Each structure stands twice: as structure tokens, then as C-alpha cells.
Amino acid sequence: MFKSMYSVTIRDHIMIAHSLNNEAFGPASNLHGATYIVDVTFFSETLTESNIVLDIGLAQQVLHDCLQPLRYKNLDEVPEFKHQLTTTEFLAHHIHNSVKEAVKIVFQGKVKVVLGESHVAWASYES
């Protein structure tokens, strides 16, 4: 059965570099740059007493802060990602967890993170 949901979506972007050290990725096995469009959607079955899902300004600040450690970084050199294939899917999950943790006191609904790696390809994670 379908549940009715409210949602709010915000957008930011990050520029990173990384290599995907696995033969499955062909030329992307080499160091390369990527610019990701990052969309985060907050879903809720109900609105707050202020008739909102979540304050948009707060959501934008949280996303900005969660992306800051990744901005202009070579992810191959980030200790947290050592021995990880930092695929678009992996990064969507990482950003999702960071955002969800940052808003947990004021928001308990579902969060979806979509990373657009080009105008024809994107990946997401939600829970």
C-alpha cells in the first residue's frame, strides 16, 4: 500500500578526484576528477507544527557541512576511504549517513541522496 509523503529537496555540488583501482572500471582506474550534483530529499508522512518537513536553511547548511570534508580532495588520500572503491554509489551512501546523523535530533523521516555524475548517469541511497 502506498503511503502519502511530503518531501523537501535541496541541492549542492562537490568536485573531487579519485581512482577506482579495479579493472572493471577501465580508464576510470586511473586518477580522474568528478563533479557531482548532490540532491538530498527529506521525506515525512507528517509536517511539523510549523507546517514544514524540515527547515530548508538548516538542511542546506547540514549538506554543505557534510560535503565540506570531500570538497577538492583526492579521495584516494582520505584515510577514511583507504582501500575503498569510492564509486558514486559508495559516496551516495557515505553522504547519506553523514546527513542523516547530522539531522537526527530534528528529523526522523526518510532521507534520499542522489549523486549526479553526468547529465545521463546518477546513483542514490535512501533509508
CATH assignment of the domain containing 18 = 3.30.479.10
87 domain residue, yes or no: yes
d(CA 9, CA 23): 36
72 domain residue, yes or no: yes
Radius of gyration of the chain (CA): 16
Query: pTM for this structure?
Result: 0.95
49 domain residue, yes or no: no
26 DSSP assignment: G
Structural domain of 91:
9-38+64-126
Q: Is the pLDDT of residue 2 over 80?
A: no
Number of structural domains the chain divides into? 1
| pLDDT tens digit sequence for 54-105 | 999 999 999 999 999 999 999 999 999 999 999 999 999 999 999 999 999 9
d(CA 65, CA 47): 25
Residue 63: CB atoms within 10 A of its CB come to 22
101 domain residue, yes or no: yes
Side-by-side strand order, sheet with 32-44 = 6-18, 32-44, 110-116, 122-126
Per-residue burial over 5-25, b = 16 or more CB atoms within 10 Å of its CB, e = otherwise: eeebebebebebebbbeeeee
50 domain residue, yes or no: no
* Strand, helix or coil for residue 59: helix
18 domain residue, yes or no: yes
51 domain residue, yes or no: no
